Structure 1
Amino acid sequence: MDGGMLVFARFGLMADLALLMGLPLFWWAMGIAGSRMVLVALALGGMALSALWLLASGASMTGTPMLPPDWATAEILLTMTPIGPVLAVRAAALLAALALAFAGRTRLALLPAAVAAATIAWTGHAGATEDMAGTIHRAADVAHIWAACGWIGALAALLHAVTARRPNVDRVAVMLAKFALLGTVFVATLVVTGVVNSLMIVGIADLPALAGSRYGWLLGAKLLLFAAMLGLAALNRWRLTPALERGDGTIGALRLSLAVETGAAIAIMALVALLGTLDPMA
């Protein structure tokens, strides 16, 4: 039960922080202001989910129920492990994002949101890697996280645009065209850093062993979902967007494509949340 709560907390944090960074990034790329109340809700949600993750992590480490909270274990994690500094940095970044959102500086909130999202790299396998290899692993993981945040934020914004009661087809086509180059950068970054992360976690010599492990099967499922997202993104860029620009496409086809792509992204985040709790060689 508490192991499931840890996975849920990890998934919630990844989704929340991905949107907190990804939406302002998309708004900046599109030159629009965005919604400050959405960012306020996400910043507050990031704080609540971080607290939930801390309690769930303590329960998982000690093998005890999460409720009632074990405050002694939480204090040890905060004061005697790297978790404390990581959560302190995240809290400061979330407070800064919250303040900027309240002030209406939605696009500027991208900066502290990026810091908050980057802290995820120190709470998974990358955080456990030591020495220079650890530095390389965490740098690759941060780049991977930022690219994923950008893609997820764009999906959320575009899906919202096409599901409006009366979607502005011309505006949607312009947003898709503007996002094309940035989306390509995100995909390239995800592919390169994904390879680096996998090699750092498993090691070249142990790659064949993945075929017989639970971790390997789940990683394979994640890669299949990623491939599906790439296919849908290519469909959107090379077929559906030009059709909309010519006036002979339907918003319904784009709506379906974006909905399926978003569903695949959600499933990937759920798998990543679970993979971060597993031993790759178990």
Structure 2
Amino acid sequence: MLLLARFGLMADLALLMGLPLFWWAMGMAGQRALLAALALGGGALSALWLLASAASMTGTPLLPPDWATAEILLTMTPIGPVLAVRSVALLGALVLAVAGRDRWVLIPAAIAAATIAWTGHAGATEDVAGTVHRAADVAHIWAASGWIGALAALLHAVTMRRPNVERVAVMLAKFSLLGTVFVATLVVTGVVNSLMIVGFADLPTLTGSRYGWLLGAKLAVFGGMLGLAALNRWRLTPALERGDSAIAALRLSLMLETGAAIGILMLVAWLGTLDPMA
């Protein structure tokens, strides 16, 4: 259950940040009902994650909840301050969404997404190295959230009953530069995070650990996403601009890319619970 809670929480917060970022970049109106639902979902999933963490620590079932251990986590570990900051940010996102300030939701949503960095390996790194590690992790989370939000918006646009081909082509063209920034950020911060977690000298030892195999799987899936993104950018977008014959191929490509993103989130949720050197 802990893995499912982590996965659901990361997906929710990524969409809560990524969607308004994409809408802002495209100059589009947002969907406040969806953002409000994501803000509420982020709160519920955070509570589930807390209870699942308590159950995992004590080796007990999720139900009935272990309130005593949950209280210890809230009062004696960094989880308490992290959840406090996230709760305030999610409340701010909810208020802004209900008020129709869709683009402003991006600010508290980015804060909420950033708190994930303090609940994984980056949260355990100390001193200056810890600051660098968490900064890299936050940038990694923001770039991933931007990409995931864009995928969700684009997939919705191409799966409508009658897709507006011209509008989709414009969206893809506008997103190309931002997408390049996301990819570059993910690559650089991914390298920094790996070196901070494992260390350059211990990288060869990953080949014999579960963490190493899962990290390799994540990198392989990420490589597949890059290939699909390149296909969209250099082949399908130009074809779409010449007519709607490429819409079916683009739809399939975006579905595969979204599936890969979901797979990566599942792997990241698992990796965050493992000792890299075990």
TM-score normalized with structure 1 length = 0.98
Q: 1:200 is matched by which residue type in structure 2?
A: M
Distance 1:250 1:196 in 2: 38
Distance 2:23 2:35 in 1: 12
1:67 aligns with 2:67: no
Distance 1:75 1:33 in 2: 41
Distance 2:58 2:244 in 1: 60
1:99 aligns with 2:92: no
Runs of 4 or more consecutive aligned structure 1 residues displaced over 3 Å after TM superposition: none
Equivalence map 1:92-171=2 (5 Å): 92-171=88-167
- Please report the RMSD computed on the Cα atoms of aligned residues, expressed in angstroms: 0.7
Q: Which residue, out of 1, 6, 11, partners 2:7?
A: 11
Equivalence map 1:1-282=2 (5 Å): 5-247=1-243, 249-282=245-278
Distance 1:167 1:232 in 2: 20
- Deviation of 1:248 after TM superposition, in Å, equals 6.4
- Deviation of 1:249 after TM superposition, in Å, equals 3.7
Distance 1:130 1:71 in 2: 29
Identity among equivalent positions (%) equals 85
Report SS of the residue matched to 2:161. coil
Residues 1:198 and 1:165: Cα distance change in structure 2 (over 3 Å): same
Unpaired runs of 5+ in structure 1? none
Q: Would the aligned equivalents of 1:240 and 1:249 in 2 still touch at CA under 8 Å? A: no
Provide Cα deviations, 1:135-192, integer angstroms capped at 9, x if missing partner. 0000000000000000000000000000000000000000000000000000000000
Provide Cα deviations, 1:104-124, integer angstroms capped at 9, x if missing partner. 111110000000000000000
Distance 1:26 1:60 in 2: 36
Report SS of the residue matched to 2:60. coil
Distance 2:245 2:198 in 1: 45
